[in-house]
Amino acid sequence: MAAFSPQALAEFQLILGRYPTKRAATLPTLHLAQREFGWISPEVMAYVAGLLELPPIKVYEVVTFYTMFHQKPVGRHVIEACATLPCALNGAEALLEHVEKRIGIRAGETTKDGRFTLKKAECMAACGGGPCLQVNGDYHEGMTPEKFDRLVAELA
């Protein structure tokens, strides 16, 4: 059964102290769980629901709504490519095709060596800088195929 480490439990208590209700702490608790376990399995969803005294379906709804929560194991580097209209108008589709070719997987997949996971994402609130990627949570705006190739080389 999933369970936070003592350090994560202490952090969870700090999180709870910042919110008026346990339910309001759902998002930061899920971020903590993702850091702790690497991804949000059904078992982790049930554990978080227990901590927050919520029906598991409420946690499931949040996890499946936000693309930043990983519902399966991911690679060492998670690349999220914005596919929403403002980025699409700036070439996001062609960029995604380049990214897929460059790392050899399609969106939604992880490389066999566990190095990269590629996900399509909804708007990352950086629309003015599209096309936009997040790599391991860091924003990369105005992304081009050339910039992406340099980024991959740096991650090697």
Q: Tell me which residues touch ligand FES (CB under 6 A).
A: 82, 84, 86-87, 123-124, 126-127, 130, 132
Least distance between ligand FES and beta carbon 123 (Å):
3
Least distance between ligand FES and beta carbon 83 (Å):
8
Least distance between ligand FES and beta carbon 132 (Å):
4
Residue number, 56 or 145, with CB nearest to ligand FES: 145
The residues, ordered by sequence, that sit 6+ positions from 139 with a Cβ below 8 Å of its Cβ are 124, 126, 129, 132, 133
Residue number, 32 or 87, with CB nearest to ligand FES: 87
Residue 117: CA count within 13 A, CB half-sphere = 21
d(CA 82, CA 141): 10
Q: How many residues does the chain have?
A: 156
Least distance between ligand FES and beta carbon 82 (Å):
3
Nearest Cα neighbor of 68 from 126, 128, 123, 142 is 123
Residue number, 67 or 111, with CB nearest to ligand FES: 67
Please give the backbone phi and psi of residue 18, each rounded to the nearest 5 degrees, phi first.
Answer: -95, -5
89-100 b/e (C-beta count within 10 Å ≥ 16 → b): ebebeebbebbe
Residue number, 49 or 132, with CB nearest to ligand FES: 132
Least distance between ligand FES and beta carbon 141 (Å):
8
Residue number, 45 or 87, with CB nearest to ligand FES: 87
